[in-house]
Structure 1
Amino acid sequence: MPRFLTIILITIIGSAAQLYSQQHMVSFKHLTIDDGLSQNSVNCIYQDKNGFMWFGTHDGLNKFNGYEFEYYRNDRSNENSLSSNYIYDVYEDNEGVLWVATFGGGLNSIHPETGEIKAHEMIPEDENIIPDERIFSISEYPEGILWIGCNGGLIRYNKRTSKARLFTGNKKSEDIYFNNYVGIVCPDELGNIWFQTDSGLTKIDTSNLNIEYFKKSPYSNKYKMGFIQDIKSIPNGVLVACDDGLLLIDEKHKRDELLLSTEQFNSGGRETSFLEFDILKPDYYLIGSNQGLIIYDHKTGRISRYQANAYDPKSLTHNSILSICKSRDGVLWLGTRNGINIIESLEPDFKHIRSIPGESGMSSNNVTSFMEMNDSLLWIGTTNGLNLYNKNTYEFKVYNAEQGNSGMLLSGYILSLYKDSKNRQWVGTRGGGFYKIIPHGDRINFKQIRPLNDTLFNINTHYFRERENGNLWVGTGGQGLWEYDPDRNLIKRYESTLDAGGLNHSFVFCFHEDAFNNLWTGTPSGGLNMLNTQSGRFLFFLNNPENLHSINNDIILSIYEDSNNKLWVGTNDGLAKFIPTLDSDVFPLINQSRQLNQDTLFINFGLAEGFPNTVIYGMLEDEHDQLWISTNSGLVVFDTKNETVIKTFDVSDGLQSNEFNQNAFYTDAHGQFYFGGVNGFNIFNPDEVTGNNYKPQMLITGLSIFNKPLQVNKPNEDGLYLDKSISNTEKISLSWKDRVITFHFAGLSYKSPEKNQYSYKLEGFNNDWVMAGNNRSATYTQLDPGTYIFRVKAANNSGIWDEAGSSLIIHISTPPWLAWYAYTLYILIIVGIAYLFIRYRIRRATRKIRLQATIDRAREEEREVFRKQSAADFHDEAGNKITKLTLFTEMARSELENKTQLENYLGKIQQNITELSSGMRDFLWVMDPQHDSLFETIARLKDFGESLLTETGVNFIVKGIQLDLQEINLSMNARRDILQIFKEAMNNAAKYAKANNITLEVIKENNQFKINLEDDGRGFNLQNLDNKRYGLRIMKERAQKIGGELIINSGENSGTSISLKCNIPHLGNSN
């Protein structure tokens, strides 16, 4: 919609023609003091390398991330603050340092990493005093040298040395005279510094410091310089906003040209000044003036002008534009005397046409319908008049209702518009019937249709569509469906009846006749009706709450058949797809069903499938099988092949409103889509809706501990602080006490930033991305000690993700009780406790062992005493008795010399007494504790062997007897069993072996001893040996009883060896 009365003029300047019209529909968003801006007069706007926006005002410097402001002001109690609140200019040098020009506070700088603010004193290179308090402009050329415009001249400042030189005008020379007020400084590409004064333009050559002053244009000498407002560098020269207009100065080719004059904008005795400008692209300029914004296309000569309008919330907030900046995402920022005005796009995807109070335009913003009159003219129906819109000139002609005028409309509430195949144009109204548009030259007449066969004509006419026979289907409000014959001026009614097969509602909102002569009709509460035009019979489809595949609602708002012959129905509760294929058999097929509302006929789509709203007003199909659907919450793009929602758009994307209107959708001959609603209408080409392709600059903007932000060089209660800004920090160490950590972040894309989306994760805690929506913070609690990486990425308002994102490494320190030294202490304590416990147990066990040993020793001593005493007593008593028996036996034998048999008996008595005496000696030897060693045992066997074999002629050899055998103690039982084993073996050898030599050997090996008895006798075959022989079995049992192993080796004529192997008792197992 035009923001001012459109004027079409041709003005000749040189050979260029300018056409005044509203080329662009531009909407302005605003940032004012009510939105957080520190003050509304915005002198300068700048975007730094990180993507932050900076706004200099009369009351402080503002840093903006798209959501909130950070303020820089003078604070007398804080040395790290600006020296003045009045900000004129902001400039970022090649090192990222932000230089701030203040009025009354001189030159300030803000360090990019630490945020340290420094006021710079300038050291004069000569005797000239540097007037460094009131500074207006800053530029750099070459690197390291700042050129500063101030109230006393031009300053050249060396950043490294702080030395400065002042350049002032020479009043004695007209050629280099300039007023010492220098407000704008601009280096060009040729090494010149151009600067503004209030009385002309001045240039200084940096190679030789020659100064040139211009009161008029340098080369043509035609255009007045006057008070220079702005200078911008261009290839080969500069552009200058001077008194006469926008002047191009080409230094290389020594020429100048006035591109646009200010004079043509003067009106009402008020002169126009170009205050600020920006070059959007070659020959395309954005000019801020004292009377609004001007967009100038030098190639076409087209000018668009925008001014403040108190009645238009989307217009400029003030006509004086003080500063202009284009951010990297293409957003235009305009600083005015009443806040910041934002243009997100000069060529929006959705052009918005609307009426503005106080300006000519549409009769109403509540748009209800569209119809193309011809290639350049479009009819637009509203709730308050019919409008004819010129798409070339952007002008409107309004046709309001005029009662009593037969050539005009009787009702201005337009419900429907339609053009048939014969180029006849029809208008449907509320309460005024329907009309045929009849052009008469430059005039338009409206003929009300009054059918010959009907008296009702002042009806509500909701919808038109043409039949193949040329007749019109007409949907009415309360009178059912009409078929109108334009040639005969007759109607045929299809009224609502109670009869089966009739229309089931008298209000018809919409309809669609498919390629098979079936008319699909939408009603406000009677569901979807289907008319078979051949039979005149209706079928109707109603919502059945118990059948999910019935139509989702009985209020039908739109019907559309797509290019693949799929039927889509827009209802008050979502989109419904008719499942059966549209063909000639669809009506007979469905007509066979007796319970339509229980059949599976529809697939329904709503909120769960991604629709932002379920009121479906209208549908248009593009060339990619996609439906563009208007709702009560914007536009939806629906893929009919995959049956999914692809995109959604709302008012923040440039739509007229989130609320659209029924029937207000249209496609023109060029494929342009039109959708109307409660705040005008949108025009767009669906193939050119590209959205925002700029990937947000992702930054971590803050870190809070227990909801308190960490600050640079300002310790918190625990002494924690940042060395540099968090966005420039790669790694930070936190205490284990910092149990609640919050990361703050922002994706710097300024087109509808409220629709930017975020996703984050904390590697080391959870490696899955968390979709955060538009939430710009993430909080973690009770993190375990360790190292984590916080990663965050952003998507812009069109869903384009910056996959690189931003990251911050954080290290959580280990609590003292979990540190390595704590674990060392824990180990030492545990080891100490274990040591003390073990020592206690050992001491206790030792005491117990000692006590038991004492007891055992006492018992052993007692047993030994008893054994000694018993052995002695037994020896004395039994030995005495045996001796007497032996004596008596000898005496008896001497008296009975001739009694042979008796002598034989007495001999046996003598033998048994001898054996008994030997056994008694063995028993007594075993009982005697003085013999409890291996040495004594071998000695006893040696004595026994020598005694046994003395008179046999067998050579008895003993080997291996050493004194250290005394250290091997043997129990009484062990000595007895060893003694019995080898006595038995020696007796057998003496009786049966017929050996010449018998050897007894004892061997000590590690923790074992071995006793071997070998002979060189005749031996025997072990295989023929009866293992059950008593003597052999007893020998083996005795060996096993003492834990030994008895091995017998023998062979015929190869001797015999018997070996007993036992563990030494104190080293191995033994009894």
Structure 2
Amino acid sequence: MRLLLAILLLTLLPLLSAERQTPMVRLWQSEDGLPGNVVRSIVQSADGYLWVATAEGIACFDGVEFDTIEPDGELRRFRFAFWRLFAPEDGSVWVTTFQGGLFRIQDGRLERVVHEAPRPRPPLINQLILDRSGIIHFRRGEEIWKLEKGTTVLVEAPSDELKELFARDHEKQTAGGRAVETGTGWKVSELHTKDGRRWAPDETGRLVIDGEVPVDLPGVASPYVFNELLEDREGNVWVATPVSGLARVRRSRVEPLSISEGPSQPTTFAIMQDRAGTWWIANRRGGVDRWSGDQLEHLNLVTTGYQRPVSTMFEDRDGVLWVASRGGSVFSRREDGTFMQRFGRTQIPSKVRTIQQDGDGVVWFGGEQGLASYDGTAVKEHREDCGLPKCDVTVLVRNGKDLVAATSDGRVFTGGSKGFRMVGDPAPLKHWWISGLLPVASDELWATTLGGGLFLWNGKAWRQFAADDGVPDLRLTCILNDDRGQLWFGSLGGILRASRQELLDRARKQERPLHWLRLDRSDGLPSRECIGGYHPAGWKGHDGRLWFPTGSGVVRVRPDLVEVNKVQPPVYLRSTRINGVQQEEHEGKIEAGPGRSRVEFRFVGLSYSAPEKVTYRARLEGLDDSWRELGSQRVAAYEAVPPGRYTFEVLAVNGDGVWSKQAARVSIHIKPHFWESAWFLLSVAALTIAGTATIAWYVARRRMKQRIQALKIRNARESERTRIARDLHDDLGASLTEISILSALAAEGGDESAMRPALDQLSNKAKAVVGTLDEIVWAVNPREDTLRSLVDYLAAFAREFLDTASIALRTDIPRNVPETPLDATVRHGVFLAAREALNNLVKHSKATQARLAVQLDDSNLEIRIEDNGRGFSQEWEAKGYGVANLRERMKAAGGDCSIASVSGQGVTVILTLPLLAAPSSPT
């Protein structure tokens, strides 16, 4: 028995709930694009479009625009009295006339199938069905006809199965909102909707729901006449009127408080309900309105003077109502119902935005001057010493024994009389004005902001929910929990709703789905803007309803009656234009071009509950890397699309966040110009490669010739150097040697005392010439271009030179010096530098001993020349001493020179030559 009662209750609950919902009506007339206000029939085809038959023509309606259907060919000359529309399951659409004619709507045109009867009151086609074999049958008067191979054929003996199909169709029309013919005449239209409601005229002719809830049309006197009723797939009911146009009736998901029973001034700032059930409403007028459901009373805060608007209201645990005026003082309500000012005008607290009470009964005030508390006897300010820097407090809520305070610059604090601490790093909140707080647990605190969206404190960090998470409007004014798993938000763009669990899942993983519901004017809101900046900016009543203040009064929402439109909106491509020319599809493909083109797509998503809230996302695959969010825009255009193959896809989402089941798509091939074609590009590429190869071959061949020529020149130069060395040695050397010998012999005879000085001088000069000549020969001889030759020649020269100067020489030279190639210029330069150092040693050092040391490693040659002479000071170095010459010679050879000396302790000259970095000989 209990089970039966439970089942009965569950069955009746939707009906009982539906009775409490106010129907919301919208009317379309000729100024909205309807062909005419005399609407005779309405039908929804299999693809989801709504079709309307009027006295002025047929139109296809997508929820926003009416597309008029024109007769085809010669039929345009005639005027037809259209009567009734039919939409069988095969997706076709048919229309009949009062003259008994039948037309099919094909590709946006009317095609005649059955001619009108040329006589008064002809039999009408009042039924059209599709049998199980897919053949169209229609009833004309008492006759049954079928459409076979484009022609109409009378069915002489209809089968029982066919009769049964017509009988079922008659029952469907009877309950589906159409007037049907009976034996006694035409029965008035009535509609039985899927949720069990009955729409029918009452005894006065007024359209009512279940005989109780009237359906009034805006601007139309009641009762009014209607021709047909239709329930679409989303549960909307459409009314075809013979005078007033087309009307849509849907349930209002928001219930506005009428002016007669609601606040005395439309613009409402804050609202709350006390424990006794009385509602307190603050509005622009100033003071507060006390509303008990059947009586409205306005109360002023002050008896005289300017009545400031109220910024916040709060009822403490003793039932005392606290009220603060905007930018003014704090008041409390006396037992006699009047208000008294509790603190002086210059006393803290003042300019209060929010009031709250902690677990100890202390009342807290937050506002422009920070945070203050009142324990019943004294007021205490809470500032830096309590962990609260200077701030403008906008929201105060209680979280267990603690308080949570939020500020206008995006900071959140928690604590109490013993002090406060900041909740997390405020950087993610980016100085947003925090408009609402909802503490759920120690690791779950929700905060709404005016401009930054929603934030969640998870115990470790703040997580933002913004446009990337689908938040319809980031200007949130409050947050409410309906205790049914949903969070509700007031915003400047309507009332929003999201699943708390989906929000938590999204905070853990960004890819988790998150659905938002937005209620606005299409759902019954008198104004989309929920007022923010005051407190409370939203309230959950004792009966579970949610109350929101708006710019046009107070609205209420019953969370249990707000249903999501789960019908997936079909989306269709209306047209494709390339360079301004509309294209025709062939098997879902379009070809255009040649060359870069402007491509424009027009599309529509069908959702008749709130067509203005349908949004779209699209992409041109092959050009777009990701989907483009288009909002409510029903056009997507792409400029200068290059030649290629593309696929355009578009999806629609209805106002409740439900996406299309599948995308509408079309393939496009933009042809290239001949110079952009593949064969042309390949030909150009082949020619380019061939030309490049030819040029590369020519350049390589020329370089090879240049290298051969350079080698020839180098060989000739080396041959010439060899010849010079040979001639100098064989001819000049021999001659000078002979002079030296003859001079020596001459010195041995004659007057010895007179000839000896001259002959000695001649001999010495000849020896010097021989030495110089030998040095030149050594320098230019390519066979001596080795490291070993340099070291050997330098050692021999040093011994001979210092021996002449009577200076003892000690050498330290490696035995096995490698035959490393050494450029002649480098070799000669190093030798000249070493010779300069030896010459300075002989001329200036007054040394008795010298040391020549040669050190080799893999990359460097080091020649060290030391003496035990008198050395030199820095002034001597500045005067000369050959230092500059040494460094210049070594630099020219690619090496370096360093000289160290201490006065009286000799000189050390170090010549360093990088072997691997030695410059190559010039060509």
Length-normalised TM-score, structure 2: 0.56
- The CA distance in 2 between the partners of 1:369 and 1:608, in whole Å, is 22
Report the alpha carbon displacement of residue 742 of structure 1 after superposing the two structures with TM: 0.9
Which residue number in structure 2 is paired with residue 339 of structure 1? Answer: 245
- The CA distance in 2 between the partners of 1:290 and 1:635, in whole Å, is 39
AA aligned to 1:332 is V
Which residue number in structure 2 is paired with residue 137 of structure 1? Answer: 126
Which residue of 94, 100, 104 maps to 1:99? 94
Q: Deviations over 1:691-725 (max 9, x none)?
A: 32222112112111223333xxxxxxxxxx445xx
Q: How does 1:1004-1015 map to 2 (within 5 A)?
A: none
Q: How does 1:121-200 map to 2 (within 5 A)?
A: 121=114, 135=124, 137-140=126-129, 142=131, 143-149=134-140, 156-160=145-149, 162-165=151-154, 190-193=164-167
Alpha-carbon distance change, 690 to 796 in structure 1, aligned in 2, over 3 angstroms? same
- The CA distance in 1 between the partners of 2:599 and 2:432, in whole Å, is 54
Which residue number in structure 2 is paired with residue 926 of structure 1? Answer: none
AA aligned to 1:56 is A
- The CA distance in 2 between the partners of 1:115 and 1:490, in whole Å, is 70
SS in 2 for 1:582: strand
- The CA distance in 2 between the partners of 1:601 and 1:161, in whole Å, is 69
AA aligned to 1:322 is N
Alpha-carbon distance change, 756 to 604 in structure 1, aligned in 2, over 3 angstroms? closer
AA aligned to 1:350 is V
Which residue number in structure 2 is paired with residue 285 of structure 1? Answer: 198
Which residue of 461, 467, 479 maps to 2:316? 467
Q: Deviations over 1:405-460 (max 9, x none)?
A: xxxxxxx97614499xxx9x996623676xxxxxxxxxxxxxxxxxxxxx999998
Report the alpha carbon displacement of residue 47 of structure 1 after superposing the two structures with TM: 1.3
- The CA distance in 2 between the partners of 1:563 and 1:134, in whole Å, is 78
Report the alpha carbon displacement of residue 280 of structure 1 after superposing the two structures with TM: 0.4
The answer to whether structure 1 residue 672 and structure 2 residue 545 are counterparts is yes
Alpha-carbon distance change, 79 to 618 in structure 1, aligned in 2, over 3 angstroms? same
Please tell me whether the aligned partners of residues 99 and 138 of structure 1 are also in contact (alpha carbons under 8 angstroms). Answer: no
SS in 2 for 1:767: coil
- The CA distance in 1 between the partners of 2:144 and 2:602, in whole Å, is 41
Report the alpha carbon displacement of residue 53 of structure 1 after superposing the two structures with TM: 1.2
The answer to whether structure 1 residue 48 and structure 2 residue 45 are counterparts is yes
Report the alpha carbon displacement of residue 733 of structure 1 after superposing the two structures with TM: 2.3
SS in 1 for 2:217: coil
The answer to whether structure 1 residue 805 and structure 2 residue 746 are counterparts is no
Which residue number in structure 2 is paired with residue 327 of structure 1? Answer: 232
The answer to whether structure 1 residue 567 and structure 2 residue 415 are counterparts is no
Please tell me whether the aligned partners of residues 358 and 401 of structure 2 are also in contact (alpha carbons under 8 angstroms). Answer: no
Which residue number in structure 1 is paired with residue 359 of structure 2? Answer: 515
Please tell me whether the aligned partners of residues 28 and 316 of structure 1 are also in contact (alpha carbons under 8 angstroms). Answer: no
- Structure index of larger Rg: 1
Please tell me whether the aligned partners of residues 568 and 577 of structure 1 are also in contact (alpha carbons under 8 angstroms). Answer: no
- The CA distance in 2 between the partners of 1:462 and 1:606, in whole Å, is 17
Please tell me whether the aligned partners of residues 177 and 228 of structure 2 are also in contact (alpha carbons under 8 angstroms). Answer: no
AA aligned to 1:354 is S
Q: Deviations over 1:391-411 (max 9, x none)?
A: xxxxxxxxxxxxxxxxxxxxx
Which residue number in structure 2 is paired with residue 536 of structure 1? Answer: 378
Alpha-carbon distance change, 490 to 649 in structure 1, aligned in 2, over 3 angstroms? closer
- The CA distance in 1 between the partners of 2:230 and 2:650, in whole Å, is 28
- The CA distance in 2 between the partners of 1:830 and 1:613, in whole Å, is 57
The answer to whether structure 1 residue 38 and structure 2 residue 31 are counterparts is no
Which residue number in structure 2 is paired with residue 655 of structure 1? Answer: 525
Which residue number in structure 1 is paired with residue 21 of structure 2? Answer: 24
Report the alpha carbon displacement of residue 66 of structure 1 after superposing the two structures with TM: 2.3
Please tell me whether the aligned partners of residues 449 and 476 of structure 2 are also in contact (alpha carbons under 8 angstroms). Answer: no
The answer to whether structure 1 residue 634 and structure 2 residue 494 are counterparts is yes
Please tell me whether the aligned partners of residues 448 and 476 of structure 2 are also in contact (alpha carbons under 8 angstroms). Answer: no
Q: Write 1 or 2 for the structure with the bigger share of helix.
A: 2
Q: Deviations over 1:925-970 (max 9, x none)?
A: xxxxxxxxxxxxxxxxxxxxxxxxxxxxxxxxxxxxxxxxxxxxxx
Instruction: Give aligned pairs, total.
Output: 623
Unaligned runs of 5+ in 1: 1-17, 168-186, 196-202, 204-229, 250-255, 257-272, 385-411, 434-454, 543-547, 591-597, 711-720, 724-728, 842-1071
- The CA distance in 1 between the partners of 2:41 and 2:521, in whole Å, is 29
Please tell me whether the aligned partners of residues 82 and 96 of structure 2 are also in contact (alpha carbons under 8 angstroms). Answer: yes
AA aligned to 1:232 is Q
Report the alpha carbon displacement of residue 285 of structure 1 after superposing the two structures with TM: 1.5
SS in 1 for 2:452: helix
Which residue number in structure 2 is paired with residue 1032 of structure 1? Answer: none
Please tell me whether the aligned partners of residues 674 and 683 of structure 1 are also in contact (alpha carbons under 8 angstroms). Answer: yes
AA aligned to 1:328 is R
- The CA distance in 2 between the partners of 1:470 and 1:565, in whole Å, is 21
The answer to whether structure 1 residue 110 and structure 2 residue 105 are counterparts is yes
Alpha-carbon distance change, 583 to 686 in structure 1, aligned in 2, over 3 angstroms? farther
Q: Percent identity?
A: 19
Which residue number in structure 2 is paired with residue 387 of structure 1? Answer: none
Report the alpha carbon displacement of residue 568 of structure 1 after superposing the two structures with TM: 5.8
AA aligned to 2:299 is T
Q: How does 1:502-901 map to 2 (within 5 A)?
A: 502-505=348-351, 508=352, 510-521=354-365, 526-533=368-375, 536-539=378-381, 559-561=396-398, 567=404, 579-586=412-419, 605-609=449-453, 610=466, 619-623=479-483, 628-637=488-497, 648-660=518-530, 665-686=538-559, 689-710=562-583, 721-722=584-585, 729-737=587-595, 739-802=597-660, 804-819=662-677, 822=680
Report the alpha carbon displacement of residue 378 of structure 1 after superposing the two structures with TM: 6.7
Q: Deviations over 1:107-139 (max 9, x none)?
A: 11123xx4454212469xxxx999998856342
Report the alpha carbon displacement of residue 765 of structure 1 after superposing the two structures with TM: 2.0
Please tell me whether the aligned partners of residues 292 and 306 of structure 1 are also in contact (alpha carbons under 8 angstroms). Answer: no
Report the alpha carbon displacement of residue 63 of structure 1 after superposing the two structures with TM: 1.0
The answer to whether structure 1 residue 73 and structure 2 residue 70 are counterparts is yes
Report the alpha carbon displacement of residue 72 of structure 1 after superposing the two structures with TM: 1.1
- The CA distance in 2 between the partners of 1:819 and 1:751, in whole Å, is 49
Report the alpha carbon displacement of residue 283 of structure 1 after superposing the two structures with TM: 4.5
Alpha-carbon distance change, 293 to 383 in structure 1, aligned in 2, over 3 angstroms? farther
Report the alpha carbon displacement of residue 802 of structure 1 after superposing the two structures with TM: 2.3
Report the alpha carbon displacement of residue 320 of structure 1 after superposing the two structures with TM: 2.3
Q: Deviations over 1:550-607 (max 9, x none)?
A: 75x68x5x65446796636597xxxx766222344236x79xxxxxxx9999888332
Please tell me whether the aligned partners of residues 189 and 233 of structure 1 are also in contact (alpha carbons under 8 angstroms). Answer: no
AA aligned to 1:650 is D
Report the alpha carbon displacement of residue 59 of structure 1 after superposing the two structures with TM: 0.9
AA aligned to 1:147 is F
AA aligned to 1:804 is Q
Report the alpha carbon displacement of residue 797 of structure 1 after superposing the two structures with TM: 0.9
Report the alpha carbon displacement of residue 56 of structure 1 after superposing the two structures with TM: 0.8
Deviates more, 1:655-664 or 1:330-339: 655-664
The answer to whether structure 1 residue 430 and structure 2 residue 300 are counterparts is yes
AA aligned to 1:655 is L
Alpha-carbon distance change, 136 to 59 in structure 1, aligned in 2, over 3 angstroms? farther
AA aligned to 1:586 is G
Please tell me whether the aligned partners of residues 263 and 296 of structure 2 are also in contact (alpha carbons under 8 angstroms). Answer: no
Which residue number in structure 1 is paired with residue 255 of structure 2? Answer: 351
Which residue number in structure 1 is paired with residue 766 of structure 2? Answer: none
SS in 1 for 2:198: strand
- The CA distance in 2 between the partners of 1:660 and 1:691, in whole Å, is 21
SS in 2 for 1:190: helix
Report the alpha carbon displacement of residue 308 of structure 1 after superposing the two structures with TM: 3.5
Report the alpha carbon displacement of residue 826 of structure 1 after superposing the two structures with TM: 6.3
- The CA distance in 2 between the partners of 1:289 and 1:154, in whole Å, is 34
AA aligned to 2:91 is G
- The CA distance in 1 between the partners of 2:689 and 2:675, in whole Å, is 17
AA aligned to 2:137 is L
- The CA distance in 2 between the partners of 1:156 and 1:681, in whole Å, is 59
Length-normalised TM-score, structure 1: 0.49
AA aligned to 2:192 is I
Report the alpha carbon displacement of residue 240 of structure 1 after superposing the two structures with TM: 8.5
Which residue number in structure 2 is paired with residue 965 of structure 1? Answer: none
Alpha-carbon distance change, 131 to 479 in structure 1, aligned in 2, over 3 angstroms? closer
- The CA distance in 2 between the partners of 1:564 and 1:759, in whole Å, is 48
